[in-house]
Structure 1
């Protein structure tokens, strides 16, 4: 579980609620079902208009990655590549055919299959980079959905504020209804800003980070398989791949 995301959500909402309490207000004052309906309904509606249903469903599924990061491990990628290199060095590239049948990652599986087929290293790189670009285009759509929702929410909040003020203007003769209209007006703006800046935009940012991590690992796979295809020493391959790790440099170990 991503502790940073949990802390961020708690701090974000806690700061708003805590500020309301410190100012002497009541939490109930910022709980307005009407404002929530306007902002959340309007934001979701605008997002549905902007993207195909499949993209929205994928975005909702990928949102889990914010709290539950993928279990992919760059160290495991390096270890597997080194094992493939050692096996190919001992028994030839054809010996990796069995690995292609057992590996779970489809990207790695396709790369190993191409290596076994004896494809030219340059062609191997071109083919795998096309796969990588396709993966990136599909994966970044989820971040774009939340980014767009984060752009819509504040504007929808302003619409809610205007509707609240219209309600106030229509009931100037009845002072008992003025408070509710003014409350909806201001709370709708708050909901719009909170939805955008505490939920949607941060989720989009975190999904982009997850995507960068996934792309990095796939680039490691490409470089590793090309090195295997070229018959490079497994130790040299390891040093090359470790340069991709956040710490950088040969021989660096990833902190646990």
Structure 2
């Protein structure tokens, strides 16, 4: 088992910061950072959280830091649909409903779908049933030949977009399951000769269902200052039409 000093050093190096950089950001001495990392000084729980905050350590990993130092975990992990997070659940559900008639969904840190609005159902009609068994993974549904992949006109661009986003996510906070998903569906050398994307926001997702073509772009919303691991690890993906024809399709379907 790693010591708290070893874990902090790991996160500092992952963020490409020197001990002096971290010390200045956290308003402590570089010597103190060095003593903590080498185990010659036992940091308080407040100091651990202070350093973790400057290192942008996810809440799940902050609990690990606290446990390694002999302190109790500080951040709870409660189900989004449970009583403790009922207000958050209602708020997220309201955001999804307000986005209709356009599609929106909630994903967790491994891109499993947690909640959707009604507009998403139209995209899942012809997806293979086994891909829709919980937990339904957004990346797998999108890239699997039995999912949406045959309907995505610019599949190479979409794969590049997902590779960029998940690669950045893994660089921030490693996760074995997400790494396995990345290696399965997004590793270099896939079928398409993917090109780097110029802009995540400007990259459309172009779907073709029969003779109809839909062009969408997406935005991602996260909770600003969550104190619960579940809220820290979910994101709302909202999709918007890129042209009048796509907008009219969703408006007409809603009517």
Q: TM-score range by the shorter chain?
A: under 0.3
Name the structure with the higher helix share.
1
- Bigger-Rg structure (1/2): 1
Higher relative contact order (CA 8 A, sep 6+): 1
Q: TM-score normalised to the size of structure 1? A: 0.27
Q: TM-score normalised to the size of structure 2? A: 0.27
